[in-house]
């Protein structure tokens, strides 16, 4: 199982980090050991002093595919969920400054929170409202209609370079409002009014 992640897929988020708006999806991966499920607590790693939350809609791939045409991409995912891409922002910036890959800031253990998965038939895919609450206050909110690259565009593009397999996950990008987390914080993710996950920071 591979966890694919899409960076800078919301214009306001790209701008808040002073990043250029991409003309193609920005791709990075996390290993299976990054998954944090069942509302388990997230323990702050010792190697970073600046862990940020990034809430994202997550797709689950339902069948294998390679070189998937855009017109067929909707046939390759069956469920949608919500998760967090935790980022060690200080390590990421250090790597960027040196022109180095920044997987150590994104792919560390438990850096990919994943909540419930729901069949796509329950959604209007281009109108999904989602949000993240920190200590009961909304800190991020987005709508899939605001994505630069749609679900189908992401899947078609990924499949040019990677064979997608059943069970693979795609974190589709975060809206503006990312920020740091601290011990004792409670993070709760919602799609509409439905709470999809929660995790306590320790």
pLDDT tens for 151-179 read 999 999 999 999 999 999 999 999 999 99
Mean pLDDT, range 9-31, rounded to an integer: 82
Q: Where are the alpha helices (DSSP H) in the chain?
A: 11-16, 89-97, 151-161
Contact between 172 and 7 (Cβ < 8 Å): no
Architecture of domain 3-200: Alpha-Beta Complex (3.90)
Q: Confidence band (pLDDT; 50, 70, 90) for 14?
A: low
Distances (CA, A) of 73 to 22, 62, 193: 21, 11, 28
Check residue 175 and give its pLDDT.
94
Q: Which of 15-19, 29-33, 42-46, 163-167 has the lowest mean pLDDT?
A: 15-19
Contact between 48 and 90 (Cβ < 8 Å): yes
Q: Confidence band (pLDDT; 50, 70, 90) for 114?
A: very high
Check residue 152 and give its pLDDT.
97
Q: Confidence band (pLDDT; 50, 70, 90) for 75?
A: very high
Task: Quickly list DSSP for 121-171.
Answer: GGS-TT--EEEEEETTEEEEEEEGGGBSS-HHHHHHHHHHHS-B-TT-EEE
Q: What is the residue extent of each domain of the chain?
A: 3-200
Residue among 145, 178, 196, 201 nearest 52 (CA): 178
Mean pLDDT, range 120-128, rounded to an integer: 93
pLDDT(132) > 60: yes
């Amino acid at each position: 199982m591979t966890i694919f992640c899409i960076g800078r897929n919301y214009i306001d988020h790209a701008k808040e980090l002073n990043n250029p708006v991409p003309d193609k999806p920005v791709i990075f991966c996390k290993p299976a050991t990054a998954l944090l499920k069942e509302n388990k607590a997230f323990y702050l790693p010792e190697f970073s002093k600046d862990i940020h939350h990034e809430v994202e809609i997550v797709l689950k791939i339902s069948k294998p595919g390679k070189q998937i045409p855009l017109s067929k991409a909707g046939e390759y995912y069956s469920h949608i969920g919500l998760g967090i891409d935790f980022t060690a922002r200080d390590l990421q910036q250090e790597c960027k400054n040196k022109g180095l890959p920044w997987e150590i800031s994104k792919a560390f253990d438990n850096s990919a929170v994943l909540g419930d998965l729901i069949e796509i038939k329950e959604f209007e895919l281009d109108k999904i409202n989602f949000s993240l609450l920190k200590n009961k206050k909304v800190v991020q909110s987005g709508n899939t209609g605001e994505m630069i690259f749609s679900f189908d565009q992401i899947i078609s593009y990924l499949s040019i370079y990677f064979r997608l397999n059943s069970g693979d996950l795609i974190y589709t990008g975060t809206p503006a409002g990312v920020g740091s987390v601290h011990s004792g914080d409670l993070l709760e993710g919602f799609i509409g009014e439905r709470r999809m996950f929660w995790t306590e920071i320790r």
